[in-house]
Chains A and B, each alone.
Chain A
Amino acid sequence: MTPRNLTPTRPPSAPGTPTALSATGLRKHYGRALALDGFDLEIARGTVHGLLGPNGAGKTTAVRCLTTLSSIDEGAATIDGIDVRQHPALVRERIGLVGQFHAVDEALTARQNLVLFARLSGLSKVRARSRADELLESFQLTDAADRAVSGFSGGMRRRLDISAGLVLTPAMLFLDEPTTGLDPRGRATVWQAVREIAAAGTTVLLTTQYLDEADQLASRISVMDHGRVVAEGSPSELKRRLGGDRVDAVIADAALLAQAADVIGRVAAAAASVDPDTRTITVEVADGAKALTPIVRELDLAGIAIDDLALRRPTLDEVFLHLTGQPGAADAAQQPAHEEAR
């Protein structure tokens, strides 16, 4: 299920524009709360940029301000070289927006939705129809084209939602948490769609709460917290700063925790942390899945039984811990009660 054979309605971007999007020092107040507090962002043309952050970091506010849905209090922003504050109407001609909500008309069919949005974007009746057919086919919705959207699954709605943002091939596509609430299959479909949209020349800004999603899709990632970008880089740069994957080992016998931490720490050649409440030992490993076998073998030789063993990416909280030296907004209240063990 991939968008294919999708012909852009026009060249996605005016040639000669150096950056697709540039924002400097954006500020946005909601009452006394500061939703954006000196937000800076620079996105090169034709790339996928991930905007990563916990709930309440200001991701959606940033997208609303950049897409002209909300006014900007302070700062400057351009999209495709056009000033967002001075020429919102021109900016709207060059962007596509897929918000967090399924902004399609439930009572209409998929085709009726797309034809309506295409005609409102300025296409003639004939071209709006052929564009709708094209989008429906690209997003594998042809079979459901004439059914009411109210009967669609979450993944189908999301696909329709994304295709509605592409009626005029945008220079810049904004995807605000496009996979939130989707099952793994729906997520994979959306990921593939994003890759192909970017391959066709559209620049994509994608907000997400999931590190692996940004990792999969984005060539650069900005990490956002408290209304500003706190770190930026390619996924590998950020990962290098974060260290590698983590292995979580749940030890069957709590009495053997210290001994197990010792074994695991020695195998991984890193400090292992112990959480006595969950009998979990966590260690950073450099070589991913290859680290699992020696850990299992050494624990077995030492006669230590394990209930569970898992390899995982650093969590968003760990990202924040690393990048800012403090827990992210999502988890500010509960500091992990880990003890360091050698």
Chain B
Amino acid sequence: MTTTTITHAPGETRDRRPNAVREGWLIAGRDVLHWVREPWGLIFGLAFNVMLLLMFGFLFGGAIDVPGGGDYIAFLLPGMFALTMLFGLESTMTAMAEDAKRGITDRFRSLPLSSASVALGRAIADLASSALSLGVLMLGGLLIGWRPTTGPAEIVLAVVLLLWLRFALLWLGIYLGLSFRGAGATTAVQVLVWPIGFLSTVFVSAETMPGWLGTVAEWNPVSATATATRELFGNPTGATSGWLAENAVLAASVWPLVITLVFLPLAAAAYRGLRR
């Protein structure tokens, strides 16, 4: 055992006051380190989206007609973009549940942080990873013949609406991740994301479905974003009539707002509830 020479250095203290934005970036930076150190999760996630795209584009796509006419690949791509935002829900929920289970959340909570930092960090990291997925899918789409035919303003608005949906689903994911921490809950969400994704206009137009099913699909928030992005990219929407066909951009703006208004307070309450 060695001797100690611990000395006091009076007057020294922290350099920065608690600041949610700075801390949010630091916490998000941890996810970036994860991607760099263990890139396979990220790579497989991206490859999975590309695989789905190729499967529907070429394997099933030949058998699917788009009502109102148009190329199926051009119809499919914006749908895939919206679906990718929905899939992001799983990663938000898993990340929150894992950190809570492993004591990392408690470590953060024992530090002198702003109360919003942990959620903000999650938001930055998840929006970044979803934006990356979106970029890879767009690139893949361009390679197989998808083309936006409108101007830059519309394209930017389409991307903003997609990330707006992802932002709304963050709060749902944080709420679910903090409230249901068992391994079963994560699996349940992983399974439930599929019917929610398919019960939409992502892969086929609602007009080809039986009436009641078509109505359900049309009222799916994922459909609103899919239809709005189709419109904004100048791709076939597959919706020739109906409220959604007329008001897709409005629906794609309001749905995420509603989800956020409901689940942001619930997520905050679940985080505070950790103090119980």
The reply to whether the CB of A99 lies closer than 8 angstroms to some CB of chain B is yes
- A117 near B110 (CB under 8 angstroms)? no
Q: How far is the CA of A232 from the CA of B166 in the complex (A)?
A: 55
The docked-state distance in angstroms from the alpha carbon of A123 to that of B276 is 30
A107 and B37 within 8 A (CB): yes
Tell me, rounded to whole Å, the shortest Cβ–Cβ distance linking B175 to chain A. Answer: 20
Task: Give the number of chain B interface residues (Cβ < 8 Å).
Answer: 42
Closest B residue by C-beta to A95: B110
Instruction: Check B10 for interface membership: any CB of A closer than 8 A.
Output: yes
List A contacts of B275 (CB < 8 A).
Answer: 68-71
Knowing A89-B18, A107-B37, A123-B15, say if A117 contacts B111 (CB, 8 Å): yes
- How many residues of A sit at the interface, in one of the four size bands? 35 or more
Give B30's nearest chain A residue, CB to CB.
A116
Within 8 A of B (CB), among A91-108: 92-93, 95-97, 99, 101-108
Q: Closest A residue to B114 by CB, please name it.
A: A89
Q: Does A310 contact B (CB under 8 A)?
A: no
Q: Which stretch (B98-106, B231-239, B248-256) binds chain A?
A: B98-106
Q: How many A-B residue pairs have CB under 8 A?
A: 130
Say whether A242 faces chain B, with CB atoms less than 8 Å apart: no
Inter-chain CA distance A93–B17, complex, in Å, is 11
A86 interface residue, CB < 8 Å from B? no
Write the nearest CB–CB distance from A66 to chain B, whole angstroms. Answer: 11
B110 in contact with A10 (CB, 8 Å): no
CA A201 to CA B275, docked complex, whole Å: 30
Q: Are B107 and A117 in contact (CB under 8 A)?
A: yes
Residue numbers in B under 8 Å from A104 (CB-CB): 104, 107
Stretch in contact with the other chain, from B1-9, B58-66, B77-85: B1-9
Would you call A107 and B38 a contact (CB within 8 A)? yes
- Within 10-61 of B, Cβ neighbours of A (below 8 Å) are at 10-18, 23, 26-27, 29-30, 33-34, 37-38
- Interface pair A2/B1, CB less than 8 Å apart: yes
Counting chain A CB atoms within 10 Å of each CB, the highest count among B6, B23, B108, B117 belongs to: B6
Chain A residues whose CB sits within 8 angstroms of the CB of B4 once the complex forms: 2-6, 196, 199-200
Residue pair A120, B15 in contact (C-beta under 8 Å): no
Residue A192 is within 8 A (CB to CB) of chain B in the complex: yes
Contact A10 B9 (CB under 8 A): yes
Say if the beta carbon of A9 comes within 8 Å of chain B.
yes
Encoded as 1 (CB less than 8 Å from any B CB) or 0, chain A from 105 to 128 comes to 111110010001101111110010
The interface residues of chain A, by DSSP majority, are classed as: loop
Which residues of B have CB within 8 Å of A153? none
A99 with B103, Cβ < 8 A, contacts A8-B9, A92-B110, A199-B6 known: yes
A5-B107 contact, Cβ under 8 Å, with A10-B13, A108-B33? no
Given contacts A9-B13, A124-B16, contact A89 B112 (CB under 8 A): yes
B113 in the interface (beta carbon within 8 A): yes
A55: Cβ under 8 A from any B Cβ: no
Provide the residues of chain A in CB contact with B23, threshold 8 Å.
120
Report if A7 contacts B (CB, 8 A). yes
B6 touches A148 (CB 8 A): no
Instruction: Please encode chain B, from 91 to 132, with 1 for each CB lying within 8 Å of some chain A CB and 0 for all others.
Output: 000000000001110111111110001000000000000000
Residues of B within 8 A of A25 (CB): none
Shortest Cβ distance from residue B5 to the other chain A in the assembled complex, whole angstroms: 6
A274 beta carbon closer than 8 Å to chain B:
no
With the chains together, A4 CA to B109 CA distance in Å?
28
Identify the closest chain B residue to A88 (Cβ). B275
Contacts of A106 in B (CB 8 A): 102
Q: Do B112 and A122 touch (CB < 8 A)?
A: yes
Distance (whole angstroms) from the CB of A17 to the closest CB of chain B = 16
Q: A67-B110, A89-B18, A92-B112 are in contact. Are A10 and B26 (CB under 8 A)?
A: no
* Given A69-B274, A93-B112; 12 other pairs, CB 8 A cutoff: A5-B5, A10-B13, A68-B109, A69-B110, A70-B276, A99-B103, A105-B104, A107-B38, A109-B37, A120-B108, A122-B14, A196-B4
A residues apposed to B, CB below 8 Å: 2-12, 30, 67-71, 89, 92-93, 95-97, 99, 101-109, 112, 116-117, 119-124, 127, 148, 164, 168, 192, 196, 199-201
Chain B interface residues toward A at CB < 8 A: 1-18, 23, 26-27, 29-30, 33-34, 37-38, 102-104, 106-113, 117, 274-276
Q: Which 4 pairs show the lowest CB-CB distances between chains A and B?
A: A122-B14, A103-B103, A101-B103, A103-B107
